[in-house]
Amino acid sequence: MALIDLVVEKIVKIPLESQDKPDVIRELVQILKDAGEIEDFDSVLKGVQDREDKQSTGLEQGIAVPHCKSAAVSSLKLAIGIAPQGIDFDSLDKQPTNLFFLLVASPELSGPHVEALAEIAKLARSKAFCKALVNAENAKEVVDLLQGR
Amino acid sequence: MSNPIKKIMVYVDGTEQSVTAAQYAICLASFSGAELIAHYVINTRAVEDLLKARIFLKDEQVEYEHDMEADAERYLNYIDELAIKKGVSIIKKRSRGSVHKEIVDSIEENDVDLLVIGELSRIRSRRDEFFDESERAMRAVPCSVLIVKDQDRVWEMYESLV
């Protein structure tokens, strides 16, 4: 399944309520739980936290791409969170992060997982587009922007 | 007129769509007598991009490449089993690099007549970033391309093949 097919309103939350990194990770995993995309919240949360413990996935320009492989899912799972106010995510440039893409994949889907992450990485290169996402007013607007409508 | 399709290649990436494409390709090969190649590309280009973007750590790069090698083995063997059940022999191929380039090269090298791929996204984003690898391959290859849809119907066709 292509990344674009995963982008639906129920996996988008704007604005995020969290104020710090541990909470935002929980909130992103909760988006998947609330959307019915995962059942084992704790297992997915631990996978994402373990990866973040190695090195933050907070990049530059206010973007973070937390991710992990998890046997708790059988396909690719995406959650998008937007924090217009910015959250300290221990990013590379030490700036607050506004745009979060959480990606969780089955260990047996490494190829599609890598390709989905690469698509997010390409999106993240467009400053203007990321700014438009951060300025979106609701989930529908985020979906429309990502689907290029 | 002799059979215009002598070599078929199916692109396998581990998705359900690609497995359905493989089932269709097995049926086509059985009906036509064409040679069937199943090709899995280990997308090292994307992994390198993720390392450059600092989304991946060095040890993640190694881990994911290792995982993709294992996936290639597993999925190609699975497609092979599907083919054997229907009396069709396949040539298993795997390569490393950029997916659409590897597919184009393989099609040219093997003089393939038809590329079979799984269903593409039904959402046509105007954003270039969302062109997935199958779509890039479809646009780049010099041969005809068959896009397989309707998983249930294909499964019935495969199952009814004797």
Residues of B with CB under 8 A from a CB of A: 13-17, 40, 42-43, 46-47, 49-50, 53-57, 59, 64, 67-68, 70-71, 74, 99, 120-123, 125-130, 132-133
Q: Is residue B162 part of a domain?
A: no
Taking the C-alpha atoms of residue A4 and residue A115, their distance in angstroms, rounded to an integer, is: 12
Q: Is residue B140 part of a domain?
A: yes
Question: Which residues have CB under 8 Å from B96's CB, separation 6+?
Answer: B41, B42, B44, B102
Q: What is the pLDDT of residue B131?
A: 62
Domain interval for residue B93: 7-156
**Angstroms from B105 CA to nearest CA on chain A:** 19
The residue of A3, A4, A48 whose CB has the most chain B CBs within 10 angstroms, and thus the best one to mutate to test that interface, is A4
Q: Is residue B65 part of a domain?
A: yes
Question: Do A112 and B13 lie within an 8 Å CB cutoff?
Answer: yes
Taking the C-alpha atoms of residue B93 and residue B116, their distance in angstroms, rounded to an integer, is: 15
Cα–Cα distances (Å) from A108 to A10, A105, B68, B73, in that order, read 25, 8, 8, 11
pLDDT tens, A117-136? 988 888 888 888 899 999 99
How many domains are contained in chain B?
1
For the record, the structure tokens of A8 come out as 């639906």
Q: What is the pTM of this model?
A: 0.85
Q: What is the pLDDT of residue A2?
A: 66
Q: Judged by CB atoms within 8 Å, which residues 67-106 of A form the interface with B?
A: 67, 69, 92
Q: Is residue A109 part of a domain?
A: yes
Q: Is residue A5 part of a domain?
A: no
What CATH number should be reported for the domain holding residue A54?
Answer: 3.40.930.10
Question: Do A4 and B121 lie within an 8 Å CB cutoff?
Answer: yes
Q: What is the pLDDT of residue B15?
A: 87
- Closest A-chain CA to B43: A111
Between chain A and chain B, how many beta carbons pairs sit less than 8 Å apart? 100
- Helix (H) or strand (E) holding A12, with range, is strand A12-13
E strands within A63-136?
63-64, 67-69, 77-87, 97-105
What CATH number should be reported for the domain holding residue B42?
Answer: 3.40.50.620
Q: Is residue B39 part of a domain?
A: yes
Q: Is residue A60 part of a domain?
A: yes
Is A51 within 8 Å of A75 (Cβ atoms)?
no
> What does the H/E/C string look like for chain B?
CCCCCCEEEEECCCCHHHHHHHHHHHHHHHHHCCEEEEEEEECHHHHHHHHHCCCCCHHHHHHHHHHHHHHHHHHHHHHHHHHHHCCCCEEEEEEECCHHHHHHHHHHHHCCCEEEEECCCCCCCCCHHHCCHHHHHHHHCCCEEEEECCHHHHHHHHHHCC
How many domains are contained in chain A?
1
Q: Among A62, A67, A66, which Cα is nearest to A87's?
A: A62
Question: Do B14 and A109 lie within an 8 Å CB cutoff?
Answer: yes
Looking at chain A, how many residues does it have? Answer: 149
**Angstroms from B2 CA to nearest CA on chain A:** 37
Taking the C-alpha atoms of residue B8 and residue B90, their distance in angstroms, rounded to an integer, is: 10
Is B78 within 8 Å of B40 (Cβ atoms)?
no
Q: Is residue A2 part of a domain?
A: no
Q: What is the pLDDT along chain B (162 residues), one digit of tens a residue?
A: 678 899 999 999 988 899 999 999 999 999 999 999 999 999 999 999 999 988 999 999 999 999 999 999 999 999 999 999 999 999 999 999 999 999 999 999 999 999 999 988 766 555 555 567 778 888 889 999 999 999 999 999 999 998
Q: Which amino acid is at B109?
A: E
Q: What is the pLDDT of residue A77?
A: 96
Nearest to B132 among A107, A115, A117 (CB): A115
**Angstroms from B104 CA to nearest CA on chain A:** 18
Question: Do B53 and A54 lie within an 8 Å CB cutoff?
Answer: no
Q: What is the pLDDT of residue B127?
A: 58
Domain interval for residue A84: 10-146
Q: What is the pLDDT of residue B28?
A: 96
**Cα–chain-centroid distance for residue A52?**
13
Q: What is the pLDDT along chain A (149 residues), one digit of tens a residue?
A: 567 888 999 999 999 999 999 999 999 999 999 999 999 999 999 999 999 999 999 988 899 999 999 999 988 999 999 999 999 999 988 999 999 999 999 988 888 899 889 888 888 888 888 999 999 999 999 999 888 76
